[in-house]
Structure 1
Amino acid sequence: MGARGPIGKRSEERMGHRSKEEKDSITKAPSGPPPDLPDLPEPDEFWHPIASDWYLSLRESGQAAFYQPSDWAVARYVAELMSRGLSSDRPPNGQYVAALNSAMASLLTTEGDRRRARMELERKKPAGTRLASVSPLDSYRDIAGG
């Protein structure tokens, strides 16, 4: 269950009839990096590697198509906080972790966060998907005399 109840299924996994209003209320975006991403600052060289990886992963995520400059500023701030917590000698307290999770949720970084905001990233279909060949079965039938 999510923080505010069950998250539910993706729109294409739901069965049954839905009203046009319900279908139209979900914002969809392609997954993967947006094509027109602005020039963004690189991660700080002193950040913890996990914080740098998180920040860089935002560039590769579909929700970045909706980010404004202020969202990128928040992302840098969150990465800085994350880095400080990860680099500390003591484990972070619960309040710190909750605040960090809340800030990351405001950037829609997880699928659950995006579902609660009624936004879905369209998954890419694997290229070159083919059904398995049935020629081995045909060969068996020929040998078995069927």
Structure 2
Amino acid sequence: MGARGPIPKRSEERMGHRSKQEKHSHVKAPAGAAVVPALPDPDPEWHLIATDWYLSLQDSGQAQFYEASDWATARYAAELMSRLLNSDKAPNGQLVAALNSVMGSLLTTEGDRRRARIELQRRPVAVQAPASVTAIADYRASIGG
């Protein structure tokens, strides 16, 4: 169960009858969409983990929904994360919760996207049949089976 209730299932995991509105309530976007061209570079002073997180947003599917203000929020989250990671003090629970909230508002996890009814569609992976299966299929075809 998520922090704000149960995480909704992906549309293909749901069973049963649904209204037309419910069937069309999800916004779907292809994974790995193009990024805003003027994306600000990460601060060289940031902690490596904060930099990696910030840069990972560029390759994430939800980035196609981001506006300039969302990228500014991402920079703020990365700065906050960097300060937290570079601190010699033990992590402050309230600061960690605030950071998780900011990251959640950017839809950075599958649960956050499900709650917002956004699904990133994965590109199908080409599965090649093993050679033995292909040989058997060719043999059957040659004998008319």
**TM-score under structure 2 length normalisation:** 0.86
Structure 1 residues 131, 9: CA separation in 2 closer, same or farther (over 3 Å shift)?
farther
* 2:12 counterpart residue number: 12
State how far apart, in whole Å, the 2-side matches of 1:86 and 1:11 are.
37
- List runs of 5+ in structure 2 lacking aligned partners: 138-145
Q: Between 56-65 and 34-43, report the one with greater CA deviation.
A: 34-43
The alignment yields a C-alpha RMSD, in angstroms, of 1.7
**SS of the residue 1:29 aligns to:** strand
Structure 1 unmatched ranges of 5 or more: 139-146
The answer for the alignment partner of 1:118 in structure 2 is: 117
CA shift for structure 1 position 135: 6.3
CA deviation after TM superposition for structure 1 residue 17, in Å: 2.5
Give how far 1:131 is off: 3.1
Give the TM-score normalised by the residue count of structure 1: 0.86
Q: Deviations over 1:90-146 (max 9, x none)?
A: 1211100000000000000000001111111111111x31333336879xxxxxxxx
Structure 2 distance, partners of 1:23, 1:131, is: 34
CA distance in 2, matches of 1:135, 1:38: 45
Q: 2:2 maps to what in 1?
A: 2
Q: Which residue of 2 aligns with 1:43?
A: 42
One-letter amino acid of the counterpart of residue 103, structure 2: M
- Partner Cα separation in structure 1 for residue 21 and residue 81 of structure 2: 39
Structure 2 residue 94 is matched with structure 1 residue 95 = yes
